[in-house]
Chain A
Amino acid sequence: MTDRALSTGGTGDWRYWLGEQRGTLLALAVFVVMFVIYTGNHQAGFSADVITTAANKGVLLALVAMAQTFVVLTAGIDLSIGMIFVLCNCVASYIVVGTAFEATLGVIGVLLTGLACGAINGLIVIYGRLQPIVTTIATGAAFFGLALLIRPFPGGEVQEDLADFLTGQLPGGIPASAVALLVVVLVIWIPFRRSMLGRVVYAVGSSEPAAYMSGLDIRRAKFAAYTLAGLLAAIGGLFLTFVTYTGEASSANANTYTLNSIAAVVLGGVSLFGGRGSAIGAIFGALVFRTIGDLLFVFDFDPLWQPLFLGIVLLVSVCLGSFRLIRLRNRLDLFG
């Protein structure tokens, strides 16, 4: 993932790479430490079942966090991401059923739903010239209304073979969901990051005027970011259906996933000011966030206190960036 075009080559290469990936590597390290503590203290120990359960829960948030990353990289934010996630869950509980062929068509339908939601966000932000935050709060309300319309009560079903396969274990005890996540990264994120489009998204996030002056197609980049965010939220929603076997228009779920996706993105070292970080970092951020919850469970933390504790973790993690204030040489940089 080194940006070779920008590096000077030679010995400076790895140092540049390290600087660029610092957030991702930090999140990875924190995750590994926490996960070792978790499995070490779990009654069942380091077994394939424990890891599969953890992976299934982690992959859900990881997918939504990846979705959020695309938008955050352009210095925007998508507060409708949890609603798209829930909407796609409801859609999937209707159409991902029947024979293998029908289920495949259903999966494509769910992905298209997510793409459409993301595209609507993108079009309104680009051509409507509204602020991303206002746009996505309003579209989020509409998406949730749609979810409630098609699923007023929890229910529905999903093609069980597919669901069991994707939430189960591959030979050797490897969780299938983790492999699925890896495939998503390899098929969507890596090509995106290496493409011209991905570079433009980073450029737009770093400095929109500079990107404009360099003749980059800002609109196309933003549209791609919002649409891909919708696609990944849809994959997340699909996966939620595979895990729960039902569709539910739950506003609590939608809000929690929106909020946690932002927490995961921040923990994963993606800058909320845009242009810095990677979806891989966000994945590890999501896994860290989930493992915190699991750790609280293992150490018999009162479940009543969990939301408060996770809220404080979120608050503290967004404050971590404030350490840069100590290094400021000029007070005017505060406002930069």
Chain B
Amino acid sequence: MTNLTASIPVLRRFDPAVLTAFGCIVLLLLIGSIINENFLSPDYLLQQLQVGSFLALIATGMMIVVLLGQIDLSVPWIITVGGMMSTAAAGWGPLGATFAIPVGVLCGLAFGLLNGIGVAYLRVPSMIFTLGINAVAQGFMIVRTGGFAPQDMATESMNALATGRLIFGIPNPVWVWIIVGAVTVFLLRRTVFGRAVYAIGNREVAAYLSGIRTQRVVLAAFAISGALSAFAGALLAGYSTKAYQGMGDPYLLPAIAAVVLGGTSILGGRGTYLGTVAGVILITLLQSILSVVQIEEAFRQLIYGAVIIGMLLLYGRQNRAV
């Protein structure tokens, strides 16, 4: 079902989906500037990038998993695990406070590894297994926070990383995004792992027969996704100064939508990181416009779902099956 011409690098450079995504971004900026004149000010746009960078971290992990032809639905509660475990670590004393973020990321990594084992080795369909892990992660967090109240306040360093502006007045999370993005682009384009991800997404049997240890690659991809989600959770906790249950719930649909709107095939094997960047900006701008317009929260969610379906229909359609 994968279009063969699309896997030729020269053609992929001009992926029409990515161009459409950037076109939509320009359109949204225009609409936004009509609604509110401050919309195009550099400060407001930087703020949007800052908010978008949390989504970007999650979408980066999601993209690698989607490139494999899988999906990660455990994102909501792994984000919460990342937020809650890093704030909890801060309550263990000075050593815990220093390693607060790594502790959160490691917990996310552990859940990601479980996802990978289920999908790669037990061969359970990823959308089911990751849903199950999501439920288990939720169960763990309920057990943790139900009996007693662990520390849920973010540390100074988490606050600083999520809200500060260290260099050139650009928010720190945007720098984090740039670094993670650069590493991801390097990983996908210049390493054996990256080529293997695309190969498995196109056809896992073929990748296996050409000597790729496909199961390890899938395991690693889910581990990366878990770690990045948890990292985003730790940053979100820093951004809102505390971790709470359900903090990850609003991020599943945007993450998947950002990846798909960025031109990554949901069936795997095709997609660029530039597209995901475009998708993240697109979703963030859409959310910000909807929040600028004075309407009820319920109506906002309705429009949001409808617009995403509409945009997906515009160019996210897969080629005719059979």
- State the A residues within 8 Å of B (CB): 77, 124, 128-131, 133-135, 137-149, 152, 208-209, 212, 218, 249, 251, 259, 262, 266, 272-273, 304-312, 314-315, 318-319, 321-322, 325, 331-332, 334-335
CA distance A305 to B316 in the complex (A): 41
CA distance A144 to B129 in the complex (A): 24
Q: Does B26 reach chain A (CB closer than 8 Å)?
A: no
Given contacts A133-B71, A308-B140, A334-B123, whether A139 and B305 have CB atoms under 8 Å apart is yes
Can you list 12 A-B contacts with CB-CB less than 8 angstroms, sorted by A residue number?
A128-B313, A134-B316, A137-B252, A140-B305, A141-B308, A142-B301, A145-B304, A306-B139, A307-B139, A315-B136, A318-B132, A331-B208
Select from chain B the residue with minimum beta-carbon distance to A120.
B309
Q: Does B14 reach chain A (CB closer than 8 Å)?
A: no
Partner of A144 from B266, B301, B313 at Cβ < 8 Å: B301
CA distance A144 to B214 in the complex (A): 38
Select from chain B the residue with minimum beta-carbon distance to A212.
B322
Select from chain A the residue with minimum beta-carbon distance to B314.
A128
Complex interface: chain B residues within 8 A of A218 (CB): 322
User: By the criterion CB–CB under 8 Å, are A307 and B138 in contact?
Assistant: yes
Complex interface: chain B residues within 8 A of A140 (CB): 305
User: By the criterion CB–CB under 8 Å, are A266 and B299 in contact?
Assistant: no
A-B contact count (CB 8 A): 154
Select from chain A the residue with minimum beta-carbon distance to B125.
A272
CA distance A272 to B128 in the complex (A): 9
- State the B residues within 8 Å of A (CB): 71, 118, 122-125, 127-129, 131-140, 142-143, 146-147, 204-205, 208-209, 214, 249, 252-253, 256-257, 260, 266-267, 296-306, 308-309, 312-313, 316-322
**Main DSSP-derived SS at the A contact region:** helix
Complex interface: chain A residues within 8 A of B300 (CB): 145
User: By the criterion CB–CB under 8 Å, are A134 and B256 in contact?
Assistant: yes
User: By the criterion CB–CB under 8 Å, are A130 and B317 in contact?
Assistant: yes
Q: How far is the CB of B269 from chain A (nearest CB, A)?
A: 14
Q: How far is the CB of A226 from chain B (nearest CB, A)?
A: 14
User: By the criterion CB–CB under 8 Å, are B309 and A124 in contact?
Assistant: yes
User: By the criterion CB–CB under 8 Å, are A315 and B132 in contact?
Assistant: yes
Complex interface: chain A residues within 8 A of B320 (CB): 129
User: By the criterion CB–CB under 8 Å, are A322 and B124 in contact?
Assistant: yes
Given contacts A138-B309, A145-B298, whether A128 and B118 have CB atoms under 8 Å apart is no
Most buried by A among B127, B299, B320: B127
CA distance A312 to B321 in the complex (A): 36
User: By the criterion CB–CB under 8 Å, are B208 and A332 in contact?
Assistant: yes
Partner of A138 from B249, B253, B322 at Cβ < 8 Å: B253
A124-B313, A129-B318 known; 18 other A-B pairs, CB under 8 Å?
Answer: A129-B319, A131-B318, A133-B127, A137-B256, A141-B301, A145-B299, A145-B305, A146-B302, A149-B298, A149-B302, A208-B321, A249-B298, A272-B128, A308-B136, A312-B136, A319-B124, A322-B123, A325-B122
Complex interface: chain A residues within 8 A of B317 (CB): 128-130
Complex interface: chain A residues within 8 A of B303 (CB): 145
User: By the criterion CB–CB under 8 Å, are B135 and A311 in contact?
Assistant: yes
Q: How far is the CB of A19 from chain B (nearest CB, A)?
A: 22
Select from chain A the residue with minimum beta-carbon distance to B203.
A335
Given contacts A133-B71, A262-B131, A318-B128, whether A307 and B304 have CB atoms under 8 Å apart is no
Select from chain B the residue with minimum beta-carbon distance to A252.
B246
CA distance A304 to B147 in the complex (A): 8
